[in-house]
Chains A and B, each alone.
Chain A
């Protein structure tokens, strides 16, 4: 995962510039994400779907993989690429919790705090993670930009409480004392 970049401010050129005053393009610069290899990948994805609209979720994953999050700029860019409206794309992005609407740390840590894990001390694990990463609170990114910790509902590993997910990677049976070792490997 690359850290978020290339995005400043919230002004961008219109997705489907219609007419009138909307045509200006010298507003603050936004580096498009759907270029080069990412665009090639999108084209490959599009081949698998009957309509462009149907490819919206994987297209958003592409953006999130490339940028770490899905900015409003990127939503408009995806809308243009898939011939949708920016508002529609925003509706989809904000409906699902797994698309990040804000920049997150390089390592995105999800901790299961559903009942069985809770019973096995998940809360202490969360506290340890927040302390050791420097995040301070759930959802925040650590000052070094490396970590963001959030709570999630069941990760499906109740027999190995408390499971956590670091980006795509699954770690089972995490207890507060293991936290610093796990994080050290990432630092």
Chain B
């Protein structure tokens, strides 16, 4: 018997693992491997042009042809499978001769005169040199042509160097799943075209730059002109530093290319490296990082005029020179956000693709429109670091000692590293003695965290993005516009759908994924609980729940089953507006999976019932057992690059690192010991949250804000702005003089992600290390140095010199980060929990048990409650807010990026065609949007994506701030405001009031399309 098995194994081994010889070296490879793959595994370099890892194989360039024994003709290594006994010669005389002739033919249409003598500039020219092909040959045919991208501020074409390998076509359609490019015409006229008419915008281009990344000749290149690069740029790459993109929570790794102290451009890590993004980027990651070198960067500390040092003490003295009484204690010569909202706007550009001269147009640099206005600096004087830190220390100490520790608060930053967030909360807990520490997680996933904590004592995603892309059979996405907010993950979801995964999208807007989805549940805003209860109702009615999972892994199912009883699909239809048949179909698809992943973002959380909404979703996940298995991920998609890490590191008011409660004296003792302060210095009282701090009647009188801009991002922002003006002391640490920083007493210039070492946690709990690439401008300092300096000035022991040292302390107090050190974070980083120095991280959680006391999760019954403010006769529209592809949050970074801001230079509101027609509004017309809290003027964008009587206002624009209108109603558990629903009215602005007049621009040529 045994020998039969052996024989069988030996046989199958021979069958599935052919042995072959390549260039004299013997190797085994699994059946189905191509010769090229087998050769690459042996580090044998077979030349390729059309082949690129992970792209579909087309085998059209014929450069990789190799000799194979018993085969009279050469075969393409990229497309030919290995076979047992095969003998391959990759550099046989015949193969080399063929390569020379292939390269020679390509050179006939190539601008050979541009190839540097004895050198090469790109992959193709390297091969020309490698095979010593003469570059003097040129046929009489004209150079190749193709669609150019004239005036594109990010991606450029020079199709004379195109060799028609079609990598760009496949990268666009198969990696990014967009399909802007293709080959048109035929024979000698064949060329790469952009859409049908050459306009990338019409073809759905998202400017991700995937085509730039794969192009082997530079025919498609980024805006950095090749001429600017030294010759032989591909031979001798300039210095490259691995970093992590500072935008969304996907955590894409990127390479920063440096010349001197300049960040020249962003390139992709090699596609075969393990990175969360496989080296892909979106437009923001590749073309949106020029803000790092924007002229507005703060290079020196600023102190508000009026502060003077008398008798060794800083005092506020209105007589001090430079102070103007008109500004008030905390004002300046600027329009408040409320007034800016009412200003006339420029007409939006319809075709932002302009000749590049646009950058030198008479208006000057287009960035001036959004860059810090000059007079914002007027109330400040430049100061030394010593002065600035001394003043902050004095005022923090003063307020602490006179009005108590809880009169102070800090906003940490989801844009800053784990180490910085840890140090800031350490400073405020140990130095000031308050737990008033929070950051923008409050405004994004705090309700997810409170629901997940309650149900399964966890605060992060259970699975990984890779698992969603490769393993899930059904992907249920709720309230997440992934292709715009997390574009690289969005592309992965589209690839998953191509692979055969089914997509269910619940979203009030018909966003790109909704249009692609198998089922789009287009619900009325804020009715999510009714929808989710309705789904569960039908699942239970059909008996599709996972009874084994419910019995062994959960509590509370019966209560939930009773609670969803009334929510029949028909009843849910009445509330949500989603047809009952669709609800049934979606419920069955999700429950039958078998591997269903559940993804959600702000569309669920930013409601006054946010915690309830997420709880009802978790009920669905748990009842169907769609968690704790590879392929069934539960994933709140994190917004900021480090919102997960900032929370993990204790920058929230009720917990230390790893969500250890501040109320537990034992835990307090542990932290007090590590931080070297007496136990009673650390407060046992949970602190105030963002939305409790910024509120009339809050006890907070002084604030320290690191890298946040609440005077754009807080709900009902005109009240928030007034609140900040009344503070006794405000210190801000930021890259720019933001809308918030302009009210500060002291502004400290921090460092951007590229100018410091730090770690960041992405949406799948992956801790990644970003390295320092360049020096901060002027006297700006790495944030960690600023915080260490301040910590010491506040009298707290800080035995660190760098971020790596801080991480050691974080690991020592954070059980799930126990084994994390900077040395271990090379490559793809580590997904926590990392239990010890040898543990390799955890790609997915809850296999077997939940981290609760008894290992079981709890289902929590919830009932539907409508949004706090619903449309009525006076305010008949639903208003929704959110992100756009080309901008980021309060615009501090993206509006200072030339490429990004040129794509979306003006604020626009999405409004349905039907509503617009009824009100006589044409595309681009100015409209006024008014809620009970404020009013803004903004340009209309007629959009098929929004439903009738709903509008969508992006959150990024100071000049039309969505948060002037939003409702500050709060979720009772998480205190997250209801950003996603409020009632507004929309009215066209009368024609003669519309838009800035030409004269106002001094008769100069305006940039906007409305003028031509």
Give chain A's interface residues, CB within 8 Å of chain B.
10-27, 72-73, 75-76, 79, 85-91, 93-95
Q: A87 and B903: CB pair below 8 A?
A: no
B512: interface (CB < 8 Å): yes
A75 to B169, CA, bound (A): 18
B876: interface (CB < 8 Å): no
Query: Chain B residues with Cβ under 8 A from A72's Cβ?
Result: 196-197
Residue from the list A14, A25, A85, A91 in contact with B201, Cβ < 8 A: A14
Q: A88 and B204: CB pair below 8 A?
A: no
Residue from the list A13, A21, A22, A90 in contact with B196, Cβ < 8 A: A90
| Shortest Cβ distance from residue B769 to the other chain A in the assembled complex, whole angstroms | 32
Q: A20 and B944: CB pair below 8 A?
A: no
A16 to B183, CA, bound (A): 19
Say whether, besides A25-B923, A87-B180, A88-B182, A20 and B199 are in contact (CB < 8 Å): no
Q: A14 and B204: CB pair below 8 A?
A: yes
B571: interface (CB < 8 Å): no
Q: Can you offer 17 A-B residue contacts whose CB atoms are under 8 A?
A: A10-B199, A14-B204, A18-B206, A19-B206, A19-B885, A20-B886, A24-B941, A75-B196, A85-B204, A86-B195, A86-B196, A88-B179, A88-B182, A91-B182, A91-B193, A95-B184, A95-B185
Chain B interface size, as a band, is: 35 or more
Say whether, besides A19-B484, A22-B201, A75-B196, A87 and B941 are in contact (CB < 8 Å): no
B892: interface (CB < 8 Å): no
Query: Chain A residues with Cβ under 8 A from B511's Cβ?
Result: 19
Q: A15 and B943: CB pair below 8 A?
A: no
Which residue on chain A has the smallest CB distance to residue B192? A87
| Shortest Cβ distance from residue B366 to the other chain A in the assembled complex, whole angstroms | 15
Query: Chain A residues with Cβ under 8 A from B944's Cβ?
Result: 17, 23
Q: B484 and A22: CB pair below 8 A?
A: no
Which residue on chain B has the smallest CB distance to residue A84? B179
Q: B512 and A19: CB pair below 8 A?
A: yes
A53 to B103, CA, bound (A): 35
| Shortest Cβ distance from residue A166 to the other chain B in the assembled complex, whole angstroms | 27
Residue from the list B179, B349, B481, B903 in contact with A85, Cβ < 8 A: B179
Residue from the list A17, A18, A90, A95 in contact with B195, Cβ < 8 A: A90
Per-position contact with A for B563-589: 1 when CB-CB < 8 Å, else 0?
000000000000000000000000000
Query: Chain B residues with Cβ under 8 A from A20's Cβ?
Result: 206, 484, 884-886, 903-904
| Shortest Cβ distance from residue B603 to the other chain A in the assembled complex, whole angstroms | 15
Q: A26 and B923: CB pair below 8 A?
A: yes
A59 to B195, CA, bound (A): 18
Instruction: Find residues 279-327 in chain B having any chain A CB closer than 8 Å to their own CB.
Output: none
Per-position contact with A for B467-500: 1 when CB-CB < 8 Å, else 0?
0000000000000010110000000000000000
A89 to B203, CA, bound (A): 11
Q: B350 and A87: CB pair below 8 A?
A: no
Query: Chain A residues with Cβ under 8 A from B183's Cβ?
Result: 91
Q: B351 and A11: CB pair below 8 A?
A: yes
B202: interface (CB < 8 Å): yes
B329: interface (CB < 8 Å): no
Q: A15 and B923: CB pair below 8 A?
A: no
Per-position contact with A for B938-950: 1 when CB-CB < 8 Å, else 0?
0001111100000
Q: B483 and A85: CB pair below 8 A?
A: no
Query: Chain B residues with Cβ under 8 A from A10's Cβ?
Result: 197-199
A57 to B195, CA, bound (A): 18
List 16 additional contacts besides A87-B194, A88-B179; criterion CB under 8 Å.
A11-B202, A15-B204, A17-B944, A20-B884, A20-B885, A20-B904, A21-B352, A23-B910, A23-B944, A23-B945, A24-B942, A72-B196, A76-B195, A86-B202, A87-B184, A93-B184
Which residue on chain A has the smallest CB distance to residue B351? A11
Q: B182 and A85: CB pair below 8 A?
A: yes
| Shortest Cβ distance from residue A61 to the other chain B in the assembled complex, whole angstroms | 17
Q: A21 and B903: CB pair below 8 A?
A: yes
Q: A21 and B186: CB pair below 8 A?
A: no
| Shortest Cβ distance from residue A109 to the other chain B in the assembled complex, whole angstroms | 24
B215: interface (CB < 8 Å): no
Query: Chain B residues with Cβ under 8 A from A94's Cβ?
Result: 184-186
Q: B922 and A15: CB pair below 8 A?
A: no
B41: interface (CB < 8 Å): no
| Shortest Cβ distance from residue A87 to the other chain B in the assembled complex, whole angstroms | 3
Per-position contact with A for B873-888: 1 when CB-CB < 8 Å, else 0?
0000000000011100
Q: B941 and A23: CB pair below 8 A?
A: yes
Give chain B's interface residues, CB within 8 Å of chain A.
169, 173, 178-186, 193-199, 201-204, 206, 348-352, 481, 483-484, 511-512, 515, 884-886, 903-904, 910, 913, 922-924, 941-945
A102 to B345, CA, bound (A): 40
Query: Chain A residues with Cβ under 8 A from B348's Cβ?
Result: 21, 24
Q: A23 and B943: CB pair below 8 A?
A: yes
A17 to B515, CA, bound (A): 10
Say whether, besides A18-B483, A87-B182, A11 and B885 are in contact (CB < 8 Å): no
Which residue among B173, B179, B206, B884 has the maximum number of chain A CB atoms within 10 Å of its CB? B179
A90 to B181, CA, bound (A): 10
Q: A91 and B884: CB pair below 8 A?
A: no
Say whether, besides A24-B941, A27-B350, A76-B196, A15 and B184 are in contact (CB < 8 Å): no
Which residue among A26, A89, A93 has the maximum number of chain B CB atoms within 10 Å of its CB? A26
Q: B350 and A18: CB pair below 8 A?
A: no
Which residue on chain A has the smallest CB distance to residue B940? A26
A18 to B176, CA, bound (A): 13
Say whether, besides A20-B903, A22-B201, A23-B945, A87 and B181 are in contact (CB < 8 Å): yes
Which residue among B181, B196, B944 has the maximum number of chain A CB atoms within 10 Å of its CB? B196
Residue from the list A13, A26, A73, A87 in contact with B922, Cβ < 8 A: A26
Q: B202 and A15: CB pair below 8 A?
A: yes
A21 to B924, CA, bound (A): 11
Residue from the list A11, A23, A26, A88 in contact with B199, Cβ < 8 A: A11
A2 to B515, CA, bound (A): 35
A103 to B196, CA, bound (A): 16
Which residue on chain A has the smallest CB distance to residue B147? A87
A78 to B931, CA, bound (A): 42
Query: Chain B residues with Cβ under 8 A from A87's Cβ?
Result: 169, 179-182, 184, 193-196, 203
Q: A95 and B942: CB pair below 8 A?
A: no
Query: Chain A residues with Cβ under 8 A from B923's Cβ?
Result: 24-26
Query: Chain B residues with Cβ under 8 A from A88's Cβ?
Result: 179, 182
Query: Chain B residues with Cβ under 8 A from A22's Cβ?
Result: 201-202, 204
A95 to B484, CA, bound (A): 34
Query: Chain B residues with Cβ under 8 A from A18's Cβ?
Result: 178, 204, 206, 483, 512
Which 5 residue pairs across A and B have the least CB separation, nearest first? A85-B179, A87-B182, A26-B923, A86-B196, A75-B196
Query: Chain B residues with Cβ under 8 A from A76's Cβ?
Result: 195-197, 202
A72 to B198, CA, bound (A): 9
Q: B202 and A85: CB pair below 8 A?
A: no
| Shortest Cβ distance from residue B834 to the other chain A in the assembled complex, whole angstroms | 37
Q: B203 and A85: CB pair below 8 A?
A: yes
Which residue on chain A has the smallest CB distance to residue B886? A20
Which residue on chain B has the smallest CB distance to residue A17? B944
Which residue on chain B has the smallest CB distance to residue A89? B196
Which residue on chain A has the smallest CB distance to residue B189? A94
A75 to B206, CA, bound (A): 20
A101 to B885, CA, bound (A): 34
Q: B182 and A90: CB pair below 8 A?
A: yes
A16 to B885, CA, bound (A): 16
| Shortest Cβ distance from residue B884 to the other chain A in the assembled complex, whole angstroms | 6
Residue from the list B180, B181, B197, B884 in contact with A19, Cβ < 8 A: B884
Q: B184 and A17: CB pair below 8 A?
A: no
Query: Chain A residues with Cβ under 8 A from B199's Cβ?
Result: 10-11
Residue from the list A12, A21, A85 in contact with B180, Cβ < 8 A: A85
A92 to B481, CA, bound (A): 33
| Shortest Cβ distance from residue B159 to the other chain A in the assembled complex, whole angstroms | 14
| Shortest Cβ distance from residue B405 to the other chain A in the assembled complex, whole angstroms | 46
Query: Chain A residues with Cβ under 8 A from B178's Cβ?
Result: 18, 85
Which residue on chain A has the smallest CB distance to residue B884? A20
Q: A21 and B201: CB pair below 8 A?
A: yes
A108 to B886, CA, bound (A): 47
Query: Chain A residues with Cβ under 8 A from B196's Cβ?
Result: 15, 72-73, 75-76, 79, 86-87, 89-90
